[in-house]
Structure 1
Amino acid sequence: MKKILLVVGTLFAISCGSSRSVVTKTTSASGPEGVKGSVAETTSEVKVKNVAKTAFTSSERVGDIMKYLASDDLKGRDSGSEGIEMAATYIENYFKSYHVKPYFESYRDTLSNFKDTSYNVVGVVEGNDPTLKNEYILVGAHYDHIGTIAPENGDYIANGANDNASGTTTVMELARYFGTHKNNKRSLIFALFSAEEKGLLGSEHLAKKLKEQNLNLYAMLNFEMTGVPLQGKDYFVYITGYDNSNLAEVSNSYAKENLVGFLPTAKEYNLFQRSDNYPFHKEFGVPSHTYCTFDFTNFNHYHKVGDEIDLMDFGHMATLVNKLLPVLEGIANAPIQEVKINSK
């Protein structure tokens, strides 16, 4: 993320339907026979109910993804590294497992603005409405981190669990839901960005590329540092650029609770411009926001080797996904575009 200057020093901040049966494939963090990110061949039949009544994901599922993405094996997922290549393969296999198709010819979108070979991983679940499917909602997060750094107590791997394996996991689970259910009228693009830590380069590359292709983008919903819960707030998650659109109001309406709130600190330090929502705001001028649960007081290991999975709250992360599903489903299926830019 980008630097933010605080008074006491420099901090870094985050640049109803009926039941039906479906067959799902399962993916383990290590994969069958130890192959990282492979797709298990076994299938199981599960009952899928309205997400508002039945939890879709769980702390165990979230934990399995996180334990791989933030493992020492990936060496901090620095852009252009072997570790982030492993992460990309894992995400590709996850998308494939749950019927999220490649958006381009392959899942990999090679960056044109970074010196080392790096990829965004981009999938799509086409909308099921003949007209609304031509409108797109992009759901994203960056999956890169800063790699290896100066050692602390012998540990030199900045695993990036909260930043941003957490946001990546959120997007992967949202993709699993829609890839499995196919109940979205508008088309959903799921994008995991590389080189965010180098200056939002992955999202900048993709935003320009999609703009050149005249994508009919409705909104961009980004996820950043969602691994630990807010404390002392009457809402569950905040969005950056809160005043820029009515996304919070729409989100809370579909969630049927005060899910999304306003964090004054986010406005004070202009977090709206410091994560991967911003390039899409610049290129398309559509509602583009980041959902986040980092508030400068609940996590002290930003860009440090201490950003480890043992500090993450997998139950909180699973709850966030489950609460967001009716929100994203509602926005994707509404007959009109409800989320609108606020007039200045």
Structure 2
Amino acid sequence: MNDTPLLDIEYILPLRWASDEAMDDLTACLTRLRAWADVTVVDGSDPERFAAHATAWSDLVRHISCEEISGANGKVRGVLTGIASARHERVVIADDDVRYDFHALAAVVSELEGATLVKPQNHFAPLPWHARWDTARTLLNRAISADYPGTYALRRSALLRAGGYDADTLFENLEMERTIRATGGRIRSRPDIYVMRRPPTARHFLSQRVRQAYDSWAQPLRLAIEAAILPTVWILRRRPGALMVMLLTMLVLAERGRRRFDGRSVFPATSAFWAPLWVAERGVCSWLAIAARLRGGVRYGGARLRVAAHSRRSILRRIAGEGERRVW
């Protein structure tokens, strides 16, 4: 740890594990990262696991506990703790399943010369069936606009000026993006910078279906389109030709997302064929997300989160209110 890293950045990894089955893989990742960056693991795991992680990683990286920050979203609390204690202006935030190589890490950091926040593109490796299923979501996002990765590079000062971002939101990445944008920050999407991500277990994947659909509450037009999938299929149920057009449209869009920005280098040729399955899933889960909203929100970490992400106007009001309190 005494060696000077190659990049002048802080790599912040928020962590809250209920199982250590990925311990060896993450330890190998941290061993690589420490040669490239100063690394801080913000650990919100239970005391027993925290102690085990400290034993395994304290000689590799800086391992700290999560501060007492209000909010139900543990990842946001971990990020804000890491930002507050970071030793560098340029910061990379990454989930525990993200696996950078040096080229991708250096590329996102370099983009901060002209941007406040940089979003690269994740892709799963390896690719079990559920990772291929979820890859269809990524391809459709890429075809229409941009995907939301599990990692960002940003300027620490921008988030500090904003007073952080709300830890009671479910779609925390969008909340962070909107907070940076609301304060005048420049966001740069780089869907051509590919960063590997380990897939979750199949059980975890299945448990997240409604929760991911609930994110669309932060994007009303998207929610409306997704909620319209089932009614549209019902209306067209006796018109196979129209249903076939819908199917082909999904495949074409997904393939467009795969081909953009040399995506074929990381997304297999069969990836687009999973798109109809994902669209059917989202058509069902969007209505389950609507039902969850009527019950007060979606379950997350033992609580219910009602807000997916705030609008830019709400974020500006929050920042203005905090500014007034600081003046007084």
Give the TM-score taking structure 1 as reference length. 0.32
Point out the structure with the larger helix share. Answer: 2
Larger Rg: 1 or 2? 2
Name the TM-score, length of structure 2 as normaliser.
0.33
